[in-house]
Structure 1
Amino acid sequence: MQVDQVKSICIVGAGAAGLAALKTVLDTPQFKANLWKPVIFEARSQVGGVWLPEDTPPTSELPATPLYDSLTTNLPHPVMCFPSFPFPPSTPVFPAAAHVQRYLEAYAAHFNLRPFIRLGTPVCDVRRASSKWTVRLGSDEILDFDLVIVANGHYRVPRYPAVPGLGAWLAANKASHSVWYRHPRHLGDKILVVGAGPSGTDIAAEMSGTCTTLVRSISGAAPEDSGHVKIRGRTTKFGANGQVHFEDGSVESGVDYCILATGYEVSVPFLSESLVHSGLPPPCPPLPGKLHNSTYHLFPLARHIFPIQSSFPPTSLAFMGLPVRVAPLPVMEAQAAAIAHFFAHPESFDADAEAQSVLARYAELGGDPAAIARLWSVFGFDEQFAYQDRLHEAAGADTRVPQWRKDGYAKKGVLRRFWVELERRGEADAWVRGVGRGGAHEWVDLLQRLLQAAEEWESTNPGERESTSPGV
């Protein structure tokens, strides 16, 4: 064995993406031949990433996770789990965050990942030096690596909308981002929740029980009042004395507090400006020669993973977990398979073909760089499944997303509403009791039976379509 055949691999983050990357690396013939030396660096005290709760309530400092007390998944776990590792028997179909955290810990234990994970070790700086990646850790330890996988997640740095007057509200402690939200509490008689995503929906539902009037700001929504809940359109101005203006011209006065469920920024602070330029990329074509972070997307990345640029080999650095509106864990496992393949066979990476594929997607999304940035990582329903199939194909695996996963994802809304109803009736536990003991196929059978019952229930209870929260 030649010394230069041995390659060291740095993985940043021990959330779901980092764990999937490590598990896949350990499965390779290169690792088994002692040619790959992987290690995960994780800043926190345990694996789990976004699913790991904080020991203490969040303070003014940026929380390590946006996890709130009542959070449950908005996907049935047979659909959202790693294909290689189902949830344990009897798990609720839409599990609470604690179930997901235990699942990720079990995944790490089952595949013997822990010996390769350094907890409490933040990565502070990654830069290219000669033919290596130089990584500086929080302890000021400096190590060199041949390959780097960035799996640090994208649910930590709050995204604040560019709305006039918001800064004054934040400074006066009249507004905060949902990253700090943990549970409902009285913040005033009139509360505004901005954002129509899953967390905004959950927070609005919880906060409605703490106030006299709840106002929801949803871009494009028509004004509507229902009981003590008011629906308004996009927020256009935060004024003095609790005044808030909306896109339809209406004004709400006397708003005591605002919670901004307005999403998160893509952040890779340990990558220097020499590697990732901050801001929108220039219009294409041609592709820019440097990687850009618009805070909505990293561009240009081949297959949403490998940076297309000329400063270093594109298959020496990989990004995981950037696509959104997907079932994330199966996507991560597919990404990990492709990463392992191209790490092992960089000569098979066709840079020209990959660049053309990126430009084709760019053309499909239109010509406005700002609009493209917002849409780039957002996958349509069928797109995520075709994406997984292509990644597995690139890795040389004859793996296709099964139809039942597609059906479960497509029907996640009605399934979630029906599951909430089963929990209300006290019948949910009976549905899952013992399921999974005979194998993963039992979860598939359950999901199909649950979907049939859910559709029958909703057809006879059409009002329930709007009356239950879809979760997060």
Structure 2
Amino acid sequence: MSPSRRVAVIGAGAAGLAATKALLDVGAEVVTHEQGDRPGGLWARDNASGLSPAYSSLHLNTSKGRTEFADFPMPRNWPDYPSADLVAAYLAGYSEEFGLAEHIRFGTAVASVERAEESWVVTTGSGETDRYDAVVVANGHNWQPRWPEPAYPGTFDGSQTHAHDYRGPEIFRDRRVLVVGMGNSAMDIAVDASYVACGPVLLSARHGVHIVPKYLFGRPSDATGGALAALPWRLRQRVAETMLRLAVGTPQRYGLPAPAGGLFQNHPTISDTILHRLTHGEVAARPGIERLDGDTVVFTDGRSEPVDMIVWATGYRVHIPFLSPRWVGEDPEQLPLYRRVFHLEDPSLAFVGLMQSTGAALPVVEAQAKLAAACFSGGYALPSPEEQRRTVDRTLRAATARWGDRRPHMRIDFDQYLADIPREMAAGRARLRRGARPFTAPAREGSPA
């Protein structure tokens, strides 16, 4: 890659670090902008960015063998499901091993990214500007809390918080607690609270999910699922659901609502401990909320319960504040991207990590980073814009058929995607041999705007 080609990476979490490494590997001049004071993004608790949702009991919900970067395996003596602090240390070690920190501008928020003639102008929060040939957006999407919308009717006299702001269970001591949600954070928080709260912790959900223990038949459960990856997903689903029923039964067996979709359609919740606390009465399942009434919550089955504190574990929304709707539309969750990486109107704007995987994130962002780097180095050619659009449309139809209307643009099948990216890389090299034009950056002097 010509030294005049410069790439801005936004974010130094797992996705941004992978992008920085991949670009350096192909000879790019990389400047990575990170709002926090250290690498690791959302995994780095107490990061100066204030965006990390990591809490004291947080652990991986995918096993280390299915989570680690291919270029940087996790230590063999680590547990199968490392803590958030171990993952943060792992990402810091990745940064150190490959010399990434010297290319990262810590404490630098990005205010805007705009197209200007044949380059991208990145403006920081302090007003500094710089020009780049390409931009990789890797700012993550699990930091902007999603609150119930519209809000539930009525008023609540107790305290409310979002799971994003939870750090440890002491805030629940001797309080009557309601956790709303059925994701991994909801289960972790309900379990934590159950040891210190007053009475059973109430766990409310309008829709059910599959609860998958971290081990099935003596192996990490995602490794068991990975062994079925060669099967069509519908067949894989039937086999995996049968295995799950044999191992732990159905969610209804524990008083939880039936899953809204089949396994591998809606993201399962990975937890060993929630089923234990439910069967011992320390966590009590409740249906959706009907309304709030002072110090009482009324549920859709007519029951009402006194509650002192509500934790809304209602997920996150995608937020890319530095890009205008011209580039991400009114809802970035619906942004169409070729191979979930390249913007259809201008592939010099790439995204790493803007996806929702059925498995771990790290191997996916590593593959995406290498695809973007191959493109920007001229070692891979994209198909025609028409073919890109056809591929995106075809992928969206398949995703909608499988996952419905909940973030279908963002959904990927972990194993299938990781198998597809090497094939796409090979196809891009073949396009070059047939005369397709690779990515080129305009020749220009200097870099400051």
TM-score by length of 2: 0.73
> Are residues 1:204 and 2:190 paired?
yes
Instruction: Look up the SS of the partner of 1:134 in the other structure.
Output: strand
Q: Is the 8 A contact 1:302 1:358 kept in 2?
A: yes
**One-letter amino acid of the counterpart of residue 242, structure 1:** T
> Are residues 1:104 and 2:134 paired?
no
Instruction: Look up the SS of the partner of 2:169 in the other structure.
Output: coil
> Are residues 1:254 and 2:316 paired?
no
Q: Is the 8 A contact 1:14 1:151 kept in 2?
A: yes
1:300 alignment counterpart? 336
In 2, Cα distance between equivalents of 1:204 and 1:375: 29
What is the Cα-based RMSD across aligned positions, in Å? 2.7
Alignment partner of 2:283 out of 229, 233, 236: 229
Flag structure 1 segments of 5+ consecutive residues without an equivalent: 57-61, 280-292, 399-472
Flag structure 2 segments of 5+ consecutive residues without an equivalent: 209-251, 257-277, 429-449
Post-superposition shift, 1:205?
Answer: 0.5
2:69 alignment counterpart? 82
2:213 alignment counterpart? none
> Are residues 1:273 and 2:325 paired?
yes
Alignment partner of 1:156 out of 130, 143, 152: 143
Instruction: Look up the SS of the partner of 2:121 in the other structure.
Output: strand
In 1, Cα distance between equivalents of 2:409 and 2:303: 34
Post-superposition shift, 1:338?
Answer: 1.1
**One-letter amino acid of the counterpart of residue 162, structure 2:** H
Q: How does 1:128-139 map to 2 (within 5 A)?
A: 128-139=115-126
Post-superposition shift, 1:362?
Answer: 2.7
In 2, Cα distance between equivalents of 1:164 and 1:25: 44
Instruction: Look up the SS of the partner of 1:83 in the other structure.
Output: coil
**One-letter amino acid of the counterpart of residue 19, structure 2:** A
> Are residues 1:73 and 2:60 paired?
yes
> Are residues 1:388 and 2:422 paired?
no
Alignment partner of 1:143 out of 130, 133, 145: 130
> Are residues 1:192 and 2:178 paired?
yes
Alignment partner of 1:8 out of 6, 12, 28: 6
Post-superposition shift, 1:182?
Answer: 0.7
- Change in Cα spacing, 1:344 to 1:229, as seen in structure 2 (3 Å) is same
In 2, Cα distance between equivalents of 1:167 and 1:340: 52
Deviations along 1:252-300, whole A, 9 cap, x unmatched?
A: 2211111011111111001123322224xxxxxxxxxxxxx2xxx2421
- Change in Cα spacing, 1:101 to 1:365, as seen in structure 2 (3 Å) is closer
Instruction: Look up the SS of the partner of 1:239 in the other structure.
Output: strand
Q: Is the 8 A contact 1:244 1:255 kept in 2?
A: no
Q: Is the 8 A contact 1:189 1:213 kept in 2?
A: no
1:434 alignment counterpart? none
2:166 alignment counterpart? 181
> Are residues 1:26 and 2:59 paired?
no
In 2, Cα distance between equivalents of 1:69 and 1:307: 37
> Are residues 1:238 and 2:292 paired?
yes
2:315 alignment counterpart? 263
- Change in Cα spacing, 1:173 to 1:133, as seen in structure 2 (3 Å) is farther
Alignment partner of 2:388 out of 354, 363, 375: 354
Post-superposition shift, 1:165?
Answer: 3.2
Aligned residues: 357
In 2, Cα distance between equivalents of 1:242 and 1:333: 47
Q: Is the 8 A contact 1:136 1:143 kept in 2?
A: yes
Post-superposition shift, 1:229?
Answer: 2.8
**One-letter amino acid of the counterpart of residue 39, structure 2:** V
Instruction: Look up the SS of the partner of 1:275 in the other structure.
Output: helix
2:268 alignment counterpart? none
Post-superposition shift, 1:168?
Answer: 4.2
In 2, Cα distance between equivalents of 1:121 and 1:377: 27
In 1, Cα distance between equivalents of 2:299 and 2:150: 10
